[in-house]
């Protein structure tokens, strides 16, 4: 079946935050959802459930866990048991639950920067000390984990490391050796790993996603993996995700804390997630081909048409991380909003030191992406 990712859909008439935060002449390339229709199979499974007409409290279904189990095996070569899978509403809730479940006030929590902004709230939410470890950047602009840097960020109080793999906003899909080096440090210092793998199905052809817990039993024993179909299949508003925890003691603690603080997965979200993992593979393969073209188009355009802007090719996600340091702009996202009428995420959202950066969402029809890029080019040339 062919899916039309070029289709232009008016999202302004929906509740979309991406499309309704700014004036109507602004093209929004910010929040991380896409402008694509979800797969037809998801839409029809939701329609079938809606026809039932009663939406009371639901019991999470083994069939959903089974769909996740099969997907992880098929797409990521990771074998887990059905009992390892815990359904939860959201990944942000999941990593906050993990922090609550496994730490005591005064412990420290470690993560890489630049980081997805909600990572910065976790320490305060659970009375923890926040430690950030900047990813190292090579001359090509690509970010990497350097074991010594990571190791030197660890303190005796560090209890939990929040990994984001693939990484938002840099788009890195970490290599086996990078993952092993982080895991080695965590095993040595008895640090739990909470691995946010929400972008794991959005990886381009040159690499693949490696779930850190799949690397060894020892690593799996200290890891809580969080995943969802939400980014990939454009169902983020339906609040459904999963945690995979193979260590029964950690899992029990996570389940208890989830029940206290997060509650259960959304009924319709669970149906959408199950359908995505049961039937979504063809659609996903076509989405990835489309996104890869967008990614390459963005990369080439930035290189040749946006003077002073640099980026490295994201290996994953539909997010471009643009370094505007050589443009001389003091507030690049503000400039592009006011002068180009394009809404991007301000780099400082990912860490104070990244205010020279913007994040651009290329999960949209090519026509929209090109319109946004042309507007940015004109604004840069006319200033």
Ligand X SMILES: Cc1ncc(COP(=O)(O)O)c(C=O)c1O
Residues that bind ligand X (CB under 6 A): 32, 90-92, 116, 164, 168, 196, 198, 228, 230, 236, 241
- To ligand X, the closest distance from the beta carbon of 226 in angstroms equals 8
- To ligand X, the closest distance from the beta carbon of 200 in angstroms equals 10
- Name which of 196 and 315 has its Cβ closer to ligand X: 196
- Name which of 239 and 377 has its Cβ closer to ligand X: 239
Beta bridge partners of 27: 342
- To ligand X, the closest distance from the beta carbon of 94 in angstroms equals 7
Q: Which residue is nearest to ligand X (CB)?
A: 90
- Name which of 64 and 228 has its Cβ closer to ligand X: 228
- To ligand X, the closest distance from the beta carbon of 195 in angstroms equals 10
Other beta carbons within 10 Å of 355: 18
The helix (H) or strand (E) run that includes residue 130 is strand 129-134
- To ligand X, the closest distance from the beta carbon of 188 in angstroms equals 26
Token pair of 171, please?
A: 């788009």
- Name which of 26 and 164 has its Cβ closer to ligand X: 164
Residue 147 half-sphere exposure toward CB, CA atoms < 13 A: 13
- To ligand X, the closest distance from the beta carbon of 142 in angstroms equals 19
From the number of C-beta atoms within 10 Å of its C-beta (0-12, 13-18, 19+), residue 279 rates as: middle
Q: Where are the alpha helices (DSSP H) in 143-226?
A: 147-153, 176-188, 217-221
- Name which of 234 and 275 has its Cβ closer to ligand X: 234
- Assess whether the previous peptide bond of 132 is cis (omega < 30° from 0): no
The three-class DSSP label of residue 240 is coil
The helix (H) or strand (E) run that includes residue 330 is none
* Beta carbons within 8 Å of 92's beta carbon, 6+ residues apart: 118
- Whether 361 and 319 have beta carbons less than 8 Å apart is answered as yes
- To ligand X, the closest distance from the beta carbon of 2 in angstroms equals 28
Give the sign of the dihedral formed by CA 138, CA 165, CA 196, CA 100.
negative
DSSP state letter for 315: S
- Name which of 258 and 327 has its Cβ closer to ligand X: 258
- Whether 235 and 273 have beta carbons less than 8 Å apart is answered as yes
Q: Rounded to an integer, what distance in angstroms lies between the CA atom of residue 32 and that of residue 323?
A: 18
- To ligand X, the closest distance from the beta carbon of 25 in angstroms equals 25
- Name which of 124 and 304 has its Cβ closer to ligand X: 124
- Name which of 91 and 369 has its Cβ closer to ligand X: 91
- Name which of 78 and 119 has its Cβ closer to ligand X: 119
- Name which of 114 and 372 has its Cβ closer to ligand X: 114
The three-class DSSP label of residue 232 is coil
- To ligand X, the closest distance from the beta carbon of 237 in angstroms equals 9
Among 244, 196, 224, smallest CA distance to 86 is for 244
- Whether 213 and 244 have beta carbons less than 8 Å apart is answered as yes
- Whether 351 and 114 have beta carbons less than 8 Å apart is answered as yes
- To ligand X, the closest distance from the beta carbon of 236 in angstroms equals 5
* Beta carbons within 8 Å of 331's beta carbon, 6+ residues apart: 346, 355
> Could you tell me the maximum CA-CA distance found in the chain, to the nearest angstrom?
60
């Amino acid at each position: 079946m062919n899916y039309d990712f070029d289709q232009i859909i008016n999202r302004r008439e929906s509740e979309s935050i991406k499309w309704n935060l700014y004036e109507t002449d602004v093209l929004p390339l910010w929040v991380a959802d896409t402008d694509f229709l979800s797969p037809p199979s998801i839409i029809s499974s939701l329609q079938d459930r809606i026809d039932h007409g009663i939406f009371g409290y639901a019991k999470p279904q083994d069939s959903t866990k089974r769909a996740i189990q099969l997907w992880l095996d098929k797409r990521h070569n990771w074998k887990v048991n059905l009992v390892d899978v815990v359904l939860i509403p959201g990944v942000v809730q999941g990593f906050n639950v993990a922090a609550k479940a496994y730490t005591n006030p005064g412990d420290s929590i470690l993560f890489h920067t630049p980081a997805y902004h909600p990572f910065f709230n976790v320490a305060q939410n659970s009375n923890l000390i926040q430690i950030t470890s900047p990813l190292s950047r090579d001359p090509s602009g690509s970010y990497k984990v350097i074991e010594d840097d990571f190791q030197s960020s660890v303190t005796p109080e560090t209890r939990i490391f929040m990994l984001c793999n693939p990484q938002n906003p840099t788009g890195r899909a970490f290599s086996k050796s990078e993952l092993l080096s982080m895991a080695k440090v965590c095993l040595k210092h008895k640090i739990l790993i909470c691995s946010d793998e929400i972008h794991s199905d959005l990886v381009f052809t040159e690499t693949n996603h490696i779930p850190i817990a799949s690397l060894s039993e020892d690593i799996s024993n200290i890891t809580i993996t969080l995943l969802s179909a939400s980014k990939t299949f454009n169902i983020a508003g339906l609040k459904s995700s999963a945690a995979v925890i193979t260590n029964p003691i950690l899992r029990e603690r996570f389940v208890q804390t989830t029940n206290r603080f997060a509650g259960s997965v959304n009924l319709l979200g669970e149906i959408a997630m199950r359908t995505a993992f049961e039937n979504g593979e063809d659609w996903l393969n076509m989405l990835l081909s489309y996104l890869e073209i967008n990614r390459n188009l963005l990369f080439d355009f930035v290189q040749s048409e946006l003077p002073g802007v640099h980026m490295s090719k994201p290996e994953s996600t539909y997010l471009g991380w643009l370094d505007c340091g050589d443009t001389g702009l003091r507030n690049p996202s503000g400039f592009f909003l006011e002068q180009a009428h394009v809404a991007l995420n301000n780099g400082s959202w990912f860490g104070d030191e990244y205010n020279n950066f913007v994040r651009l969402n290329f999960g949209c029809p090519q026509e929209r992406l090109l319109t946004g890029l042309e507007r940015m080019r004109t604004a840069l040339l006319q200033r």
